């Protein structure tokens, strides 16, 4: 509950200052008037514990960016450990204290300590986790909220750990599958560059010394070799500039939409992206619904992790149709991406 500092005039017209808890500023004003005083100034203040956490966050920014990083795998392990402690009947605050002792990553220890202090002040675990959006996604926070509301927090945390580990495993498999073709493509480009810049010039003299007309493909190859030798530095900078420009363009709304459209237009990329999105949608929706999160709320959460603007539009459209009374299966069945 927010805390407010106020200045008020009592019945004798004297100024008095104080602190009170209220749901909102208007509620704080009503409380002051009920006490027979007239509110002059009311402002929300930051609780001491929360202030300490914010100061600690500022001090730990450099350590998080340049020092010990918090890996997703460590969060999955911590989530499972907390689920085990809660499942054993240990209250939340002592369980968080035990989790701090079990964690070896100093940055993660700091974050868990801040969460424990927030819970100790009377805040819910949900609101305490929401203060750290870089570590805990909306899906994570919403599932914890559903677990707290239903009294099955340990079960939900166990499910969160399982879902996170499965997603991590899937990302690892995708990365492993892409390593070989990317490596071969880089090797091919490197070999081609060496041939054009070093091998071709050495054999060019053989053709030029004969004073004969060269075939068009050979002429083009020699010209390309000469061009690369003369302007290779400029070409490298142009390629780097092009990559930076494309990345910047993709970060803009129009560029993001165009890039996502291309990913769903090229046959091979289309199949891969839709399979990944369908797997993510199925697993995440299943976890959210099993945890008690409403269907419409779940769709709003899921659209943010599909990593595709067009597929997010489908989720928005599905939400609108569900609000009109249609079923999710009928909405997705009529869509060209989820058939």
| pLDDT at residue number 238 | 94
The pTM of this model reads 0.56
Q: Same domain, yes or no, for 108 and 127?
A: yes
Full domain range(s) for residue 82 = 50-166
Q: Same domain, yes or no, for 29 and 66?
A: no
The number of folded domains in the chain is 3
Q: Which two tokens stand for residue 333?
A: 């069945």
The residue among 115, 148, 166 that closes a domain is: 166
Domain-located, residue 303: yes
Tell me, rounded to whole angstroms, the distance of Cα 17 from its chain centroid: 43
CATH number, residue 119: 1.20.81.30
The residue among 111, 132, 166 that closes a domain is: 166
Q: What is the 3-state secondary structure (H, E, C) of the chain?
A: CCEEEEEEECCCCCEEEEEEECCCHHHHHHHHHHCCCEEEEEEEECCHHHHHHHHHHHHCHHHHHHCCCCCHHHHHHHHHHHHHHHHCCCCHHHHHHHHHHHCCCHHHHHHHHHHHHHHHCCCCHHHHHHCCCCCCCHHHHHHHHHHHHHCCHHHHHHHHHHHHHHHHHHHHHHHHHHHHHHHHHHHHHHHHHHHHHHHHHHHHHHHHCCCCCCCHHHHHHHHHHHHHHHHHHHHHHHHHHHHHHHHHHHHCHHHHHHHHHHHCCCHHHHHHHHHHHHHHHHHHHHHHHHCCCCHHHHHHHHHHHCCCHHHHHHHHHHHHHHHCCCCHHHHHHCCCCCC
Q: Which two tokens stand for residue 304?
A: 């943010």
Domain-located, residue 183: no
Residue 3 has φ and ψ, to the nearest 5°, of -115, 135
Domain-located, residue 310: yes
**Nearest of 137, 127, 136, 147 to residue 49 by alpha carbon:** 127
Domain-located, residue 238: no
Q: Same domain, yes or no, for 11 and 116?
A: no
Q: Same domain, yes or no, for 7 and 60?
A: no
Beta-carbon contacts of residue 298 (< 8 Å; ≥ 6 apart): 284, 285, 288, 289
Burial of 149 (0-12, 13-18, 19+ CB in 10 A): middle
The side-by-side arrangement of strands in the sheet containing 15-21 is 15-21, 3-9, 38-45
Q: Are 126 and 141 in contact (CB under 8 A)?
A: yes
Domain-located, residue 312: yes
Domain-located, residue 233: no
Q: Which two tokens stand for residue 334?
A: 């009529």
Burial of 108 (0-12, 13-18, 19+ CB in 10 A): buried
Q: How far is CA 59 from CA 53, 54, 62, 131, 133, in A?
A: 10, 9, 7, 16, 17
Q: Same domain, yes or no, for 56 and 142?
A: yes
Per-residue confidence in pLDDT tens, the chain, 339 aa: 567 888 887 777 778 888 887 777 778 888 888 888 877 788 877 555 555 555 555 555 444 444 458 888 899 999 999 999 998 888 998 999 989 888 888 888 899 999 999 888 888 898 999 889 888 887 788 888 878 877 888 888 998 888 888 878 877 887 888 888 899 999 998 888 888 777 877 777 776 666 667 778 877 877 888 888 788 889 889 999 999 999 999 889 899 899 989 988 888 788 888 888 888 788 778 877 887 778 888 888 788 778 788 888 888 888 888 888 888 888 887 777 776
What separation, in Å, do the N-terminal and C-terminal C-alpha atoms of the chain show? 47
Q: Same domain, yes or no, for 40 and 64?
A: no
Domain-located, residue 246: no
Q: Are 16 and 37 in contact (CB under 8 A)?
A: yes
**Nearest of 48, 53, 39, 43 to residue 7 by alpha carbon:** 39
Q: Same domain, yes or no, for 10 and 39?
A: yes
Q: Same domain, yes or no, for 55 and 125?
A: yes
Q: Same domain, yes or no, for 89 and 154?
A: yes
> How many whole angstroms separate alpha carbon 72 and alpha carbon 168?
8
Query: Across-strand partners of 18?
Result: 6
The residue among 166, 188, 213 that closes a domain is: 166
Q: Same domain, yes or no, for 134 and 85?
A: yes
Q: Same domain, yes or no, for 97 and 28?
A: no
C-alpha angle 303/305/310, rounded to 5°?
50
> How many whole angstroms separate alpha carbon 199 and alpha carbon 225?
9
Domain-located, residue 190: no
Q: Same domain, yes or no, for 294 and 276?
A: yes
């Amino acid at each position: 509950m927010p805390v407010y500092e106020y200045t008020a005039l009592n019945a004798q017209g004297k100024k008095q200052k104080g602190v009170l808890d209220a749901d909102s500023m208007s509620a704080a004003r009503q409380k002051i008037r009920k006490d027979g005083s007239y509110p002059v100034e009311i402002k929300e203040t930051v609780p001491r514990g929360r202030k300490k956490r914010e100061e600690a966050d500022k001090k730990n920014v450099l350590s998080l960016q340049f020092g010990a990083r918090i890996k997703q795998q460590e969060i999955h392990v911590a989530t499972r450990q907390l689920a085990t402690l809660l499942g054993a009947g240990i209250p939340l605050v002592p369980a968080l204290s035990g989790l701090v002792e079990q964690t070896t990553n100093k940055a993660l220890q700091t974050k868990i300590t801040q969460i424990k202090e927030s819970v100790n002040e009377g805040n819910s675990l949900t609101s305490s986790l929401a203060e750290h959006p870089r570590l805990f996604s909306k899906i994570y926070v919403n599932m914890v909220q559903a677990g707290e509301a239903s009294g099955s927090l340990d079960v939900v945390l166990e499910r969160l750990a399982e879902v996170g580990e499965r997603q991590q495993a899937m990302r690892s498999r995708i990365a492993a599958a892409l390593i070989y073709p990317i490596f071969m493509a880089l090797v091919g480009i490197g070999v081609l560059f060496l041939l054009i810049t070093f091998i071709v010039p050495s054999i060019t003299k053989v053709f030029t010394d004969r004073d004969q007309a060269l075939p068009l493909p050979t002429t083009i190859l020699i010209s390309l070799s000469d061009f690369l030798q003369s302007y290779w530095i400029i070409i490298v900078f142009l390629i780097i500039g092009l990559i930076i420009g494309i990345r910047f363009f993709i970060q803009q709304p129009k560029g993001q939409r165009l890039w996502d459209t291309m990913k769903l237009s090229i046959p091979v990329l289309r199949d891969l992206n839709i399979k990944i999105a369908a797997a993510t949608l199925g697993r995440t929706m299943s976890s959210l619904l099993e945890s008690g999160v409403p269907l419409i709320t779940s769709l709003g959460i899921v659209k943010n992790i599909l990593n595709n603007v067009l597929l997010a539009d489908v989720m928005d459209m599905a939400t609108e149709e569900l609000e009109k009374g249609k079923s999710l299966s009928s909405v997705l069945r009529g869509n060209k991406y989820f058939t």
